[in-house]
Amino acid sequence: MSMTDPLIPVPTPETQPFWDGVESGELRLPRCTDCGGAYFPPSPGCPSCTSRRTEWITASGDATLYSYVINHRPPSGWDSDGPMSVALVRLAEGPMLVSTVVDCEQTPQALILDMPLRATFRRFADTDVLCFAPEATR
Ligand SMILES: [Zn+2]
């Protein structure tokens, strides 16, 4: 892993619990213990109510496809030379995050908005990364 490659995720103290979850095959999210809202990306304070009382939870892994584009030139290190979706995914717990949909044709016919997705993990370069697969292919 090169620290100069911007595509390789580098954990920080704030994101380390997320990456520990990835290593365990779990999607973990920070949640505010005052207002109860889960949020992403990780930060030391709740983005809704500014409380600094937060905890980490294991998310359900359930999500829906909110929006996407199809990148026809995926980054080197990805396990496919073909098109790769760059997807905005809404988690069942509320937060949205940018990811990709795998185990699915990378076409507008197959990538249906609001389709149910499930968190999964794929090897990218030397690390596992969070991806999503159609619920039906579980
Ligand atoms: Zn809060």
Tell me the pLDDT tens digit for each residue of 125-137.
788 999 999 997 5
Residue 87: what are its φ and ψ, rounded to 5°?
-115, 140
- Please give the pLDDT value at position 1: 47
For the domain spanning 60-138, the CATH number is: 2.40.50
Number of helices (H) and strands (E), helices first, in the chain?
Answer: 1, 7
Q: Is the pLDDT of residue 25 over 70?
A: yes
How many angstroms is it from 112 CA to the middle of ligand 1? Answer: 32
3 state SS of 92: coil
How many angstroms is it from 30 CA to the middle of ligand 1? Answer: 10
Query: How many other C-beta atoms lie within 10 A of the C-beta of residue 127?
Result: 16
The mean per-residue pLDDT over the stretch 111-133 comes to 93
Give dist(CA 35, CA 44) in Å, integer.
15
Prior bond to 41 cis, omega within 30? yes
Environment of ion ligand 1 (residues, CB < 5 A):
32, 34-35, 46, 48-49, 51
pTM of the model: 0.89
How many angstroms is it from 2 CA to the middle of ligand 1? Answer: 36
Residues of the chain within CATH 2.40.50 domain(s) are 60-138
Give residue-wise pLDDT tens across range 57-73. Answer: 999 999 999 999 999 98
Q: Bigger pLDDT: 59 or 8?
A: 59
Q: Bigger pLDDT: 25 or 75?
A: 25
Provide the b/e sequence for 78-108 (b: ≥16 CB within 10 Å). beeeeebbebebbbebebebebbbbebebee
- Please give the pLDDT value at position 123: 86
Q: Bigger pLDDT: 2 or 109?
A: 109
How many angstroms is it from 61 CA to the middle of ligand 1? Answer: 21
Q: Is 136 exposed, middle or buried (0-12, 13-18, 19+ CB in 10 A)?
A: exposed
Q: Is the pLDDT of residue 95 over 70?
A: yes
